[in-house]
Structure 1
Amino acid sequence: METKGVFMNQPKRYLNIVSEMRDMIREQDIRPGDRIPSERELAEKLAVGRSTIREALRSLELLGLIETRRGEGTFLADPRKHRLVELLATFILQDNKTLEDVRVTMCIHETAAIQAICASDAAKLPVWESFRERLDGHEFIREDFVRELMVLSGNRLSLKIWFLLKQYGGNPYDGEVTTEEKTLLKNILQAIEKQDAETAIRDFKAWSSVLIKGENAQWQ
């Protein structure tokens, strides 16, 4: 049987909880503006820990599907107020959509961010030297590196979409950079500083694809 990698093998429990909450809202005919069951009630009804419910609620709130009012509770939001978020939610919460689709979309935003950085003055910022120094240190979190690329691209909409996709699609950048990865990341930094988008994107895709396929286990 073909191995689909760490990303495709992410446990679906979290997405299942979100899906069950969605079904419950539909079954109870909860309308926009109505209060949804409390965290405790949801945990009891769905037979999961409150921490899992809390994380699911947080992500639904990020998508704009629910809203929390201090001292009042959590309410179902009107998705018509969030057209982009509604589109993402419709796609991401569909059970027949694969994690691979989400990851491909993440990659589009990541490589676009590198392209934008290389085409701007952001490529000359001192932050790249700071990254290099951190890579030479003891700890460097993969997600920090990618998130900073998204931030430095200057496209806040793309950053928002990327963050939402990462929340629902699993995080291939979880964990610390290994010694073997550092050389490739330094090559990416060097290419960015030279504003060589083609090389930076090529090396980034090589690094990212290894993580997605689970080959990072060979780097541990």
Structure 2
Amino acid sequence: MYLEIVNELRTLFKEENLKHGDKIPSERVLTERLNVGRSTIREALRSLELLGLIETRRGEGTFLSDFSRHQLVEVLAAFVLQGEQSFSDVHFTRQTLEKEAIRLVAKSEIQRSLPVWESLQKILQNEGSINREDLIREILVATGNRLSFKIWFLLKQYGGEPFAGHSGPEEKQSLLSMIENIRSGQENEAIHAFNSWIGLLSKGGNVK
């Protein structure tokens, strides 16, 4: 449903010949025209905004961005939203971004020393579980690469939200190992722990 709505929004914008700087219809209007729930419209718009295809101006509304400034993202969006590509390609590309983010954070003394890692580690140790997506999101955000995060977000959405929910007991050791190795700068060990964790999620049907 989510991807269908994103496609319908893109088609609607083209049919109405909206150009860079033009204001798009409100959430209420889009909800009525596309006959879907407002929460679905809001999520679709949020994704388009993360991709840099629309921008919200406080007190004014939401407007189309200049697509020429986001050519790579636009190409990727077209690729994914066609819905004809292999899911395995999407998962492989997403995991490549995640592994590179882990490597970059572990290599940087500043990034691996961020207090968020200790906080996540303590939550996992004390409560036995953490929100999976929060962990991956923090790793990607820590790299400071906004384009990489935008691409990852789109791939994650298309891939069926592989990190939804909280981690289970069987994931705890791999996650603790990954966080600890990130904090200590052991990039290869951190990626090894990540691979082990992904293997557990694959067995549980979360990822391919």
Taking the TM superposition and a 5 Å limit, the aligned residue runs for 1:60-209 are: 60-122=48-110, 125=113, 127=115, 128-138=117-127, 139-209=129-199
In the TM superposition, what whole-angstrom CA distance separates every residue of 1:91-120 from its partner, at most 9, and x where no partner exists? 232222344333222211111122223333
Which residue in 2 is equivalent to 1:42? 30
Distance 2:5 2:150 in 1: 23
Letter in 2 for 1:199: E
Q: Which runs of 5+ in 2 are unaligned?
A: none
- Relative contact order higher in (CA < 8 Å, ≥ 6 apart): 1
Taking the TM superposition and a 5 Å limit, the aligned residue runs for 1:23-62 are: 23-62=11-50
Alpha carbons 1:123, 1:194 under 8 Å: kept: no
Mark the CA change 1:54 to 1:129 in structure 2 (over 3 Å): closer, same or farther. closer
Q: Which runs of 5+ in 1 are unaligned?
A: 1-12
Which residue in 2 is equivalent to 1:18? 6
TM-score normalised according to structure 1 size? 0.77
Q: Percent identity, please.
A: 51
Q: How many residues align?
A: 204
Alpha carbons 1:113, 1:153 under 8 Å: kept: yes
Alpha carbons 1:67, 1:74 under 8 Å: kept: yes
Mark the CA change 1:43 to 1:153 in structure 2 (over 3 Å): closer, same or farther. closer
- Cα RMSD (Å): 2.7
SS at match of 1:163: helix
Deviation at 1:143, TM superposition (A): 1.3
